[in-house]
Structure 1
Amino acid sequence: MIVADVLRQQIAEHEWTPGDRLPSRLQIAEECGAGENVVRRAQELLISQGVLEGRAGSGTYVAEPRSRVRVVRSSAREQPGGSPFCSDMQALGKQGHWTSRTEAKVPAPVEIARRLGIADSGLCVRTVYELTAGSLVVLPEGGPHAGVGHVNRMAELGVTVSHAVEQPEPRHATAEEASLLGIQKTALVTHIRRTYSSDQGRPVETADIVIATALCEIVYEIPISRQ
């Protein structure tokens, strides 16, 4: 049995309970007949899965169990008259809040320019959001159209958004993301690249959404059309 499985079993059998400090890596290594580096990698894996948590200068502890929020990705979210994020939070019985920072006429990074079909370093509007649960149209969170969602903002400009494409992939959180999300730097996140296109087939907005895997499960709802 690999070290991660041994540690997970000991927690499941209540040898250690939430809040308990684990023995030293040397002690675990001796008990498991493995090297300290193997134990370190096992602990890092369990930290990324939310089973353990590391505390700087203190050691490794059994994490408190945290219930995961279900995040449903569906075309039903994109309805006129409101924010998809606020609708999601209302469905969970919570109030949606966010902070944002917008910069206008900034050069698009190469990846963003590729998604939008514009020249490298072409100018765009960049907004960074931090969403929590507890302007002019071109400035997403300013003025009379703040918080109404992308589809509605584009409609005010005479642009009809016809569809969006999402590309999810798992990876480890960056230091900045971990700090914002309140998770370990090695924790797993799901990075969703979402691009909206108009009915003319032109990409009009692209977004990077980062969700902590230990806190949220992502579910895709697929509408079925009947003849």
Structure 2
Amino acid sequence: MAADRTGPPYLVVAEAFRRLVNEGEWPADYRLPSRTVLGQKYGVGENVVRRAQELLITEGLLEGRAGSGTYVRAREEQLSMSRCPAPGYPSAPLAPEGIASWEAHSTAKFPAPAGIAARLGIAEGEHCVRTAYEFLDAARRPVMLSTSWEPMAITGQTAVVLPDGGPFAGRSVVDRMAHLGIRVVRAVEQPRPVQVDRDQAQQLGIPAGTLATMIERTFYDSTGRPVETADLLIPAHRWSVAYDIALQSANE
């Protein structure tokens, strides 16, 4: 049965597969027929079937199992991750719903790469504390990643130099900076779609190429100085990202 829609063949086949999954004809853990069989059914070559499957793997609908084949991925409830525009508004928690705990590893005197240095307004190679976070669900599976950078010119030689150590371990950037008399007043977030690379996929236990949202977040103090920047990697099949923005009327 050839696909009956126009467009690139792999997208037509992918839409047919997507419909079979969404309508339940292919249930969770269903093993797809071979690419040869599917190609014959839809009147396309095996490479077209492969591209269609790869697309749905990135969307989280299918998964490849080494040595076994391609299966329908068991659906996970997609949660809403609420973000906020800046400190002082209803807070966006460090660990949103669906995350039970996190692990962090900080490295001091880490030279800032060019891109990070530009975001922090410092010289390339200037020392930072780099902290890698793995956010875990109730079963202690990593489900979200984050990497944070803080200039040591601000936090060095203080009790809050390490986000995962000392008396303020696990506290927010806002709280830790407040201990130094620095008032964090603004956050800028730039979300963009990405596909997870092999290392990220291995950490998260998902296929390489899976769709995710990358949020580049930077905190600024009351003088406009960047005090921390971070990359948050949020798998799209687990969370939709929503911004809760408080507004003031012209009369306030």
Kindly state the Cα deviation for residue 188 of structure 1 after the two structures are TM-superposed. 0.4
TM normalised by structure 1 equals 0.90
Kindly state the Cα deviation for residue 83 of structure 1 after the two structures are TM-superposed. 8.7
Alignment map for 1:1-227 (pairs within 5 Å): 1=5, 2-75=12-85, 78=87, 84-86=93-95, 88-89=96-97, 96-134=100-138, 136-226=159-249, 227=252
Distance in 2 (CA, whole Å) between partners of 1:12 and 1:138 is 49
The residue type paired with residue 56 of structure 1 is A
User: Contact between 1:83 and 1:148, CA under 8 Å: does it hold in 2?
Assistant: no
Gaps of 5+ in 2: 6-11, 139-157
The residue type paired with residue 25 of structure 1 is R
- The percentage of aligned residue pairs carrying the same residue is 46
Distance in 2 (CA, whole Å) between partners of 1:195 and 1:13 is 42
TM normalised by structure 2 equals 0.82
Distance in 2 (CA, whole Å) between partners of 1:12 and 1:119 is 50
- CA deviation profile, 1:169-225 (whole Å, cap 9, x unmatched): 001101121122221112101110000111111111100000000111110111111
Kindly state the Cα deviation for residue 164 of structure 1 after the two structures are TM-superposed. 0.7
- CA deviation profile, 1:110-153 (whole Å, cap 9, x unmatched): 11011011111111110000012329301001111111100010
Distance in 1 (CA, whole Å) between partners of 2:99 and 2:59 is 27
Choose between structure 1 and 2: higher helix proportion.
1
Gaps of 5+ in 1: none
User: How large is the Cα RMSD of the aligned pairs?
Assistant: 2.0
How many residues are matched?
A: 220
User: Contact between 2:82 and 2:92, CA under 8 Å: does it hold in 1?
Assistant: no
